[in-house]
């Protein structure tokens, strides 16, 4: 199916896994560090509506709820419903003095325009996602560095 996507990204950040896990679990904080997450509105204790836009001229709006939140295992998993439907997860583990974050997403795009353009738009969607993930990693590193600087002050 042309409107179905699987993504996997591996990030490394300079903070302990418990700090990284805490930030990733806080869906409402994503716009503070991830430029393409334009807005987050809490809809439940473990749920938020996210509005995302990267380089391409469209916005994706979806609701996400944690269906697994296991700090000891470093596992966060969430269901997505809306313009994107599927599952996204983070697996947080120790990596030397820092953390390794593995992001996996399996979704179907439900936004009507993107479904109609699936055949020609697929490579652009994948490239757009890649840009978003690079910016997210950079933003998270900067955000976590602020925590580290505050702790050391």
For the full predicted model, state whether its pTM sits above 0.85: yes
pLDDT tens column, 16-37 = 999 999 999 999 999 999 999 9
- The boundaries of the domain holding residue 135 are 4-152
d(C-alpha 128, C-alpha 22), whole Å: 27
d(C-alpha 40, C-alpha 48), whole Å: 6
d(C-alpha 146, C-alpha 135), whole Å: 17
pLDDT tens column, 94-116 = 999 999 999 999 999 998 777 77
Token pair in block for residue 116: 């109609």
Which residues, other chains included, contact 18 with Cβ-Cβ below 8 Å and sequence gap of 6+?
Answer: 71
Q: How many domains does the chain have?
A: 1
Closest to 47 in 3D by CA, of 69, 63, 30, 23: 63
Token pair in block for residue 51: 């509005």
DSSP letter for 12, please: E
The sign of the CA dihedral 19, 17, 126, 2 is negative
Residue 1: pLDDT over 80: no
Taking the alpha carbons at both ends of the chain, their separation in whole angstroms is: 52
pLDDT tens column, 61-97 = 999 999 999 999 999 999 999 999 999 999 999 999 9
> Rounded to the nearest 5 degrees, what angle is found at the Cα of 71, between the Cα atoms of 69 and 73?
95
Residue 7: pLDDT over 90: yes
- CATH code of the domain covering residue 23: 3.30.530.20
């Amino acid at each position: 199916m042309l409107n179905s996507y699987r993504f996997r990204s591996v990030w490394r950040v300079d903070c302990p896994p418990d700090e990284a896990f805490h930030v990733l679990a806080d869906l409402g904080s994503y716009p503070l560090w991830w430029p393409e997450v334009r807005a987050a509105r809490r809809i439940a204790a473990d749920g938020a509506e996210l509005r995302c836009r990267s380089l391409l001229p469209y916005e994706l709006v979806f609701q996400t709820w944690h269906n697994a939140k296991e700090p000891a295992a470093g596992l966060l998993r969430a269901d997505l419903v809306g313009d994107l439907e599927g599952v996204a997860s983070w697996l947080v583990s120790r990596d030397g003095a820092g953390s390794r974050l593995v992001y996996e997403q399996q979704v179907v795009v439900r936004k009507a325009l993107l479904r109609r353009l699936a055949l020609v738009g697929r490579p652009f969607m994948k490239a757009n996602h890649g840009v978003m993930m690079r910016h997210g990693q950079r933003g998270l590193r900067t955000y976590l560095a602020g925590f580290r600087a505050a702790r050391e002050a």
